[in-house]
Amino acid sequence: MILMDIYDTASWWTLVIAAQVVIGSAYFLWTKKKREPEDKLTYKKFNEWKPLPLVEYDLKVDEPPLMGKIDENVLNVGATSFLNFDKEPQIMESAIASLHKYGVGSCGPRGFYGTIDVHLELEERLAKFLQVEETCVYSYGFSTMASAIPAYAKKGDIIFADEKVWFAIQKGIEASRSNVKYFKHNDMKDLERLLEEGVQKKELHPKRRAFIIVEAIYYNSGKMCPLRKVVELARRYKLRIMLDESLSIGVIGKNGRGLTEHLNVPRDEVDLIMGSLEHSFATIGGFCAGTHFIVEHQRLSGLGYCFSASLPPMLTQAAISALDILETKPVVIKELDEVSVKLNKALDNLKHYTYSGHELSPVKHVYLKDDISHNDKQSYLKKITKYCMEKGIAMTTAAYLVDQEVKCPEPSIRLASNRKLTNDNIKQICELLDEAYEKVGPK
Amino acid sequence: MLRCKECKPVELRLSHGLSHPGQRHTASSCPLYVHVIDGRSPAMAEATTSQKCKDENERFPMMDWSQYDTFPGSFEKCSLMTAALTHVGMYLLMFLGFVNQLLFKPKVATERNREGYAPLYNPFEQFFSRYVYRRVRHCFNRPISSTPGAELTLKERHTDDYNWSFRFTGTEKRCINLGSYNYLGFAEASGPCAEAAEAAARRYGLALASSRGELGSTALHDELERTTADFLGVEAAVVFGMGFATNALGLPGLLGGGALVLSDENNHASLILGLRLARVAVRVFRHNDVRHCERLARAALAEGRWTKVVIVVEGVYSMEGSVAPLAALVALKKRLGLYLYLDEAHSVGAMGPRGRGVTDHCGVSPRDVDVLMGTFTKSFGAAGGYIAGSRRLVEWVRGRCHAHGYAHAMSPPVAAQVLAAMRAISSPVGLQRVARLRDNTHHFRRRLREMGAITFGHEDSPVVPMLVYTFSKMAATVERLTERGLATVGVGYPATPLNKARIRFCLSAAHSRAQIDRCLDSIEAVVQEVGLRYSRR
């Protein structure tokens, strides 16, 4: 009876759909049974197969200078250990004590017995220091950004990023396979234009995840990000912000908490803070900080977090000890900032170079004034740094993979400020740069 | 000039500019036989010329696999009943999770101040991690407070809210460690390695705060690169500060557009990421299936649009415990003119009679593998990784990879630990470690088999996965083993397929036979209790 009822109420299109389902599944099952395409490799094809060699041409890589311990004989203004923590005995002793407790390696990823109590301590201490809910620690600075970005941004999302973000961020964006739009370096008007354009073209709408990625202090230019404006735009257009504080943590702000402290931006406004422990903390590794909701996600989705061995405990301990110093002696931050400002003043007087870098930025990029090609500039700068090295000051040209960068920055010497630089040192650096130019620079 | 036995001479120009007059170019007589300018190696020429062929359109013959060991590892299938129950169990878990989600939404699961924004996470991912993975969360990320050696000290945790959060109970538990990748037992807090690390830290500092290409190179790094190359039996090596980054940042330098990669389906996340960043086309072949790999390679050759074809495999697969059939892959690559990238993250140090990795184990010359990659995290008890091969290759990688100029140099104490461990492996005492690891592995695998549990992989692989299939059994097993003083790792989705959860044991040379036997007794009791006798052999 019931069956009869169904037939009565069913209209003709029900049968059409049923027929389609039957035909469709029959077709599906039929095609599945077909064998794999026939192997067509003939002698002729095989003889035509001429693979390129794996190494396509000989590549000559410049031998980098061999550093001993960054010691007293050479004044190192290339390494980015701004707070001079690489020489701090307190940090060294605690790291060595840690070595004798835990050994060197952690022998496993965080999930599988690679979580050692020092990792938890560092995460807790960093969270307290940065005044956020939670942090997670990565085992390599580069991988921090390159993993954190694709943990959130996925295919189909849209990212607005500064065109001079450093390489790790570029790679993170690439790995996320999101749609990316680069705005002009530090140009908020351009960002606003792009956002407006995105809304007009319906690329930016409340259903699509959107991110802004900026650096607090740009590694590739030394400029400071106008974070207040970024936050304002992000709130207006409903974007989430990822901020790379690698060069600003332990460097700017009264307590060294970075750009958010310096500009007095509430930390909640920035969704994710990323940073490296390889600069001012003078160890290895990186961290991400934010709310529990945000950071916890990386513990399962951050590739470099999940699938990599954790940071060696002794290096973790070094970061904890660095935090100890930052918290007990915030005067080191002030010392560094003073040196950075002085360095800017001194660089103003250079005869043959221009430079870029915010006065509080710990890195300054020194450029040649001459109007010559990229490669020439690079090779002259190399000669200049080599000359300076011989004269007892170690500095380095910024290394870029020209064909891989989104917008390759101009060749430059990247100077790193250091809280221990004296007025004499600064004078000496500037004089030597001019001297080197006259000796080996373009005539 | 290559003179073939049966056909007319085939002219070959070698890229190294040398000719070997009167000498036959084969893999064994000419060490540089791979570098051929017109792209055809003598092995390829031999493949065509030695077979008498008249008609060009004739099908190029397939490999004769009977001569090679192509054993992909033991992968016993479970009964249909088990498979069905596993699926039902998974759906049940999901369903309960779904109900749970409707009833209870904790504070941590909501984002503040972002109303009107697109949701940050994919709903399924979030559901899975909150309501399915959370049930077994206590089995992962367990903190320890000691060296991850033969034994470790677990810091015990307790949860008051069904695994949403944990608090430390303040107690500790000493467990035998079958979870860390400490294959040769070099994770030691004292001894020659630790002393070397201390000395290096005092000499060079803890980090150089610069990349290798800028101001981050020291004599120690150079020495490590030379020693690694010697250890592996190749010309040169370049080292990186992180094992994961070696693949993720090294592969983009090595390969570029126009290349096709044949990748094993079980390759590690870092290889997949590296290949994605290298922007190469990728085709996946079934795990350790050389025949499938050959079919894909032949199809690619027939297409004729790739500049090179690279096979990317791992030496020992960390989730399957299987060993790559290297001899067969090398033969395939030589015959078809492909290249081979071998990731030895889990095998270097742990495999082969001399601990030189899977090349040593399979009796393949390391020079026959185009790119050798590996990490220092596991057998050497340190951190970081290397890429090794010919000198030209290493320079090529150094000049083009992302790590050399951008990522900071390896920490000096870590480099010193690797050096000390590497030297130790070459000594008689070190070789004893390698032998002890093998003995432990054989013994362990044999006993597990006798218990009737399903284990995957090869007899010699120190990674021993024991199949438990369901999430719940994985958690139950790990819990019970911990109670009995045994620290192990359960692995489930997303690291394995949804219904193939397993317990993974990593053996170590640091374990004594007594410790191993104690472990096995505990495991036997748990296998009995939880019901893991799935094997039907």
Q: Residue A4 has what pLDDT?
A: 47
Partnered with residue B176 across adjacent β-strands are B151, B486
Q: Is the pLDDT of residue A73 over 80?
A: no
Q: Is the pLDDT of residue A298 over 60?
A: yes
Half-sphere exposure of A364 (CA within 13 A, CB side): 26
Q: Compute the distance between CA of residue B106 and CA of residue A152 in angstroms, rounded to an integer.
A: 21
- Please tell me the distance in Å from A17's CA to the nearest CA on chain B: 29
Between A108 and B54, the more confident residue is A108
Taking only the tens place, the pLDDT of each residue in B356-391 is: 999 999 999 999 999 999 999 999 999 999 999 999
Arithmetic mean of pLDDT, B54-66 = 82
Q: Could you tell me which chain B residue has the CA closest to the CA of A309?
A: B377
Percent of chain B whose pLDDT exceeds 70: 91
- The kind and range of the H/E element at B361 are helix B358-362
Q: Compute the distance between CA of residue A136 and CA of residue B81 in angstroms, rounded to an integer.
A: 42
Identify whether the C-beta of residue A109 lies closer than 8 Å to the C-beta of residue A310. Answer: yes
Q: Compute the distance between CA of residue B280 and CA of residue B66 in angstroms, rounded to an integer.
A: 32
Q: Residue A442 has what pLDDT?
A: 85
Q: Is the pLDDT of residue B31 over 70?
A: no
Which chain B positions have a beta carbon within 8 Å of A36's beta carbon?
295
Nearest to A148 by CA among A24, A8, A245, A62: A245
Q: Is the pLDDT of residue B44 over 90?
A: no
Number of residues that this document lists for chain A: 443
Q: Compute the distance between CA of residue B248 and CA of residue A84 in angstroms, rounded to an integer.
A: 31
Q: Residue B20 has what pLDDT?
A: 37
Residues near A27 by Cβ (< 8 Å), separated by ≥ 6? none
Residue B363 backbone zone (phi > 0: left; psi -120 to 50: alpha; other: beta): left
- Please tell me the distance in Å from B421's CA to the nearest CA on chain A: 11
Arithmetic mean of pLDDT, A300-328 = 93
Taking only the tens place, the pLDDT of each residue in A375-418 is: 999 999 999 999 998 888 999 999 898 888 888 999 999 999 99
Q: Is the pLDDT of residue A12 over 80?
A: no
Taking only the tens place, the pLDDT of each residue in B397-432 is: 999 898 888 999 999 999 999 999 999 999 999 999
pLDDT class of A179 with cuts at 50, 70, 90: very high
- Please tell me the distance in Å from B534's CA to the nearest CA on chain A: 25
Q: Is the pLDDT of residue B2 over 50?
A: no
Written as six digits, the tokens of A250 are 């332990």
Residue of B163, B178, B215, B307 for testing the chain A interface, max A β-carbons within 10 Å = B215
Number of H helices, E strands in chain B: 16, 13
Segment 401-430 of chain B within 8 Å of chain A by CB: 402-408, 411, 413-414, 417
Does A107 contact B277 at a Cβ distance shorter than 8 Å? no
Question: Angle formed by the axes of helices B42-49 and B326-336, to 10°?
Answer: 80
Range from B90-99, B121-130, B132-141, B521-530 that averages highest in pLDDT:
B521-530
Q: Is the pLDDT of residue A104 over 60?
A: yes
Which chain A positions have a beta carbon within 8 Å of B399's beta carbon?
59-61
pLDDT class of B438 with cuts at 50, 70, 90: very high
ipTM of the complex: 0.89
Q: Is the pLDDT of residue B54 over 70?
A: no
Cβ of residue B443 closer than 8 Å to a chain A Cβ = no
Compute the radius of gyration of chain B from its Cα atoms: 25
- Please tell me the distance in Å from B537's CA to the nearest CA on chain A: 31
Written as six digits, the tokens of A294 are 């945000």
Number of residues that this document lists for chain B: 537
Q: Is the pLDDT of residue B41 over 80?
A: no
Residue with the two structure tokens 């003073």: A338
Cβ of residue B55 closer than 8 Å to a chain A Cβ = yes
Q: Compute the distance between CA of residue A296 and CA of residue A136 in angstroms, rounded to an integer.
A: 8
Cβ of residue B270 closer than 8 Å to a chain A Cβ = yes
Question: Which residue in A64, A96, A278 is closest to B201 by CB distance?
Answer: A96
Question: Angle formed by the axes of helices B471-483 and B513-530, to 10°?
Answer: 130
Q: Residue B495 has what pLDDT?
A: 79
Q: Is the pLDDT of residue B42 over 80?
A: no
Q: Residue A243 has what pLDDT?
A: 95
Which chain B positions have a beta carbon within 8 Å of A177's beta carbon?
276
A320-324, B17-21, B207-211, B328-332: which range is least confident on average? B17-21
Give the pairing type, strands B371-375 and B339-343: parallel
Residue of B40, B377, B496 for testing the chain A interface, max A β-carbons within 10 Å = B377
Partnered with residue A215 across adjacent β-strands are A244
- Taking the complete model, does pTM exceed 0.80, yes or no? yes
Q: Could you tell me which chain B residue has the CA closest to the CA of A134?
A: B108
Q: Residue A311 has what pLDDT?
A: 95
Q: Residue A146 has what pLDDT?
A: 92
Does B129 contact A401 at a Cβ distance shorter than 8 Å? no
Segment 83-112 of chain B within 8 Å of chain A by CB: 108-112
pLDDT class of A71 with cuts at 50, 70, 90: low
- Please tell me the distance in Å from B282's CA to the nearest CA on chain A: 15
Cβ of residue B267 closer than 8 Å to a chain A Cβ = no
Q: Compute the distance between CA of residue A209 and CA of residue A133 in angstroms, rounded to an integer.
A: 23
Identify whether the C-beta of residue A436 lies closer than 8 Å to the C-beta of residue A387. Answer: yes
Identify whether the C-beta of residue B183 lies closer than 8 Å to the C-beta of residue A108. Answer: no
Residue of B48, B164, B206 for testing the chain A interface, max A β-carbons within 10 Å = B206
